Copies of this chain bind each other. A is one copy, B any other.
Amino acid sequence: MRFVKGLKCVLCGALHSTRVPYTCPRCGESGILDVQYDYAAIKRVLTRRTLAARPDRSQWRYRELLPLRADAALPDVAVGWTPLTPAPALGRHLGLGRLFLKDDGRNASGSLKDRPSAIGAVKAREKRRKIVACASTGNAASSCACLAASMGLRSVIFVPERAPEPKVTQLLIFGATVLRVRGSYEQAFQLCQRACEKWGWYNRNCAINPYLVEGKKTAGLEIAEQLSWEPPDWVAVSVGDGCTIAGVWKAFRELRTLGIVARTPRILGVQAEGAAPVTAAFATGEPPRPMEPRTIADSIAVGVPRNWKKAVMAVREADGAMIDVSDGEILDAMRYTGRLAGVFAEPAAAASVAGLRRAAREGIVGRRATAVALITGNGLKDVQAARAAAGVPFDIPPEGDGLEDILKERKLVDCHEA
């Protein structure tokens, strides 16, 4: 970790050495640590020119900005450098000047979480651990199992009783030992924490592991580079725990510090109405009160966001805004993102698009603005949720009776001219 200076507590500001395992020894579990780099040194090696000369098209091209040893072994599956897809028709629909979708659903296990999980797997190997563990039913778990498999590590995943079968299936395919806890997510989480301590497994919990979130940063670095270092006016990011939006902001801040970009985008944080403690904290400045999340967007359904402070600070620094969207708006966004851009986003990912729409309507984001929506996960990961958005097919007999009426109603019969 050539360029890492230490770990700074987000609460008390103390700078710790990298020997501190997860959170601030003084502040306890809420003392989230943030990796500090020697930017003056990085500036000498990381420039637009050195980056342009790197053939590596993955998140590892930004290795100086990641907490890795120079000789770190990396996973074989490709992580990051996902497409930044222009979406002009969708942009017009939202009332924006230009719109791009950063499609992180293209990652190995189908979500942005492969970025932090890859860092986790690399760190686990570095620390000579053979096993990584996490408690989750969602994208964190499947990416943890996927990246562990790719690096020859084993994974142990604690899931609550209500974990949906398809998600458990993905874990088992990646060879994880899946422990289904007859209880709540919190109980699964506590069991995982104790097991990690007892058996010395590497703990892949983004919320408390300071290194993992650095992986999320690479999505922001890529957006900047894919736009030829001309950052957009806005980047929209859906918010659950808060560490993804903090990571994305950190990317742009670092690029400005390094002199690689001249300005930074404003950041739009989007929460689901049924799980919006960070929006409340952003408005009031007070720590959020724990709440029971209720939203279709399960990847951002977080009632006790451990990284709320990092998130609020990021949006403030970015001169950004926080906004809530309803489940109805999220379902709408899944539909029009698919129809107008050819991208199938999971609900939490579509929330960022729904947020841009609302922000454009409310005048927060201007009509000429260039915006990027971060698509954090693939819609195929949660087809059940998509069914609510999708509508239903037309039933017709094999002879085709009634077909013409349907086609006429859908304006599909006159089609020789474009």
Contacts and interface: CB of A to CB of B under 8 A. Distances in A.
Interface of A: 57, 75-78, 83, 85-89, 103, 106, 108-110, 125, 128-131, 146-152, 154, 156, 159, 165-166, 168-175, 177-184, 187-188, 191, 194-195, 199-201, 334-335, 338-344, 378-381, 383, 386-387, 389-398, 400, 403, 406-407, 410, 412-413, 415-418
A68 to B, nearest CB: 17
B387 A342 contact: no
A184 B344 CA distance: 28
A134 to B, nearest CB: 14
B187 A394 contact: no
Contacts of A341: 76-77, 149-150
A183 B398 contact: yes
Given A199-B415, A417-B128, A170 B57 contact: no
A416 to B, nearest CB: 5
A403 B129 contact: no
Contact of A175 (B146, B168, B338, B415): B338
A395 B57 CA distance: 41
A149 to B, nearest CB: 4
B389 A173 contact: yes
Contacts of A383: 165-166, 169-170, 383
Contacts of A397: 181-183
Contact of A75 (B77, B178, B342): B342
Closest 7 CB pairs of A and B: A175-B339, A150-B342, A183-B398, A178-B393, A172-B390, A78-B83, A173-B338
* Copies of this protein, total: 2
Given A129-B418, A177-B412, A180-B395, 18 more contacts: A76-B86, A76-B87, A103-B108, A129-B415, A130-B417, A131-B412, A148-B342, A149-B342, A151-B342, A170-B344, A170-B386, A172-B393, A173-B334, A175-B338, A177-B410, A179-B393, A181-B398, A383-B383
A156 B151 CA distance: 43
A416 B148 CA distance: 16
A403 B133 CA distance: 14
Contacts of A172: 390-393
A203 to B, nearest CB: 12
Contacts of A340: 149, 175
A173 B379 contact: yes
Contact of A416 (B108, B152, B200, B339): B200
8 contacts: A78-B83, A109-B342, A168-B393, A169-B387, A170-B344, A174-B338, A181-B397, A195-B403
A328 B112 CA distance: 33
A165 B412 contact: no
Contacts of A410: 177
A182 B395 CA distance: 7
A150 B403 CA distance: 26
A179 to B, nearest CB: 5
A173 B416 contact: no
Nearest to A128: B418
A78 to B, nearest CB: 4
A181 B149 contact: no
B342 A179 contact: no
A166 B393 CA distance: 12
Contact of A335 (B110, B125, B173, B403): B173
A372 to B, nearest CB: 14
A392 B403 CA distance: 44
A89 B152 contact: yes
Contacts of A199: 407, 412-413, 415
B181 A396 contact: yes
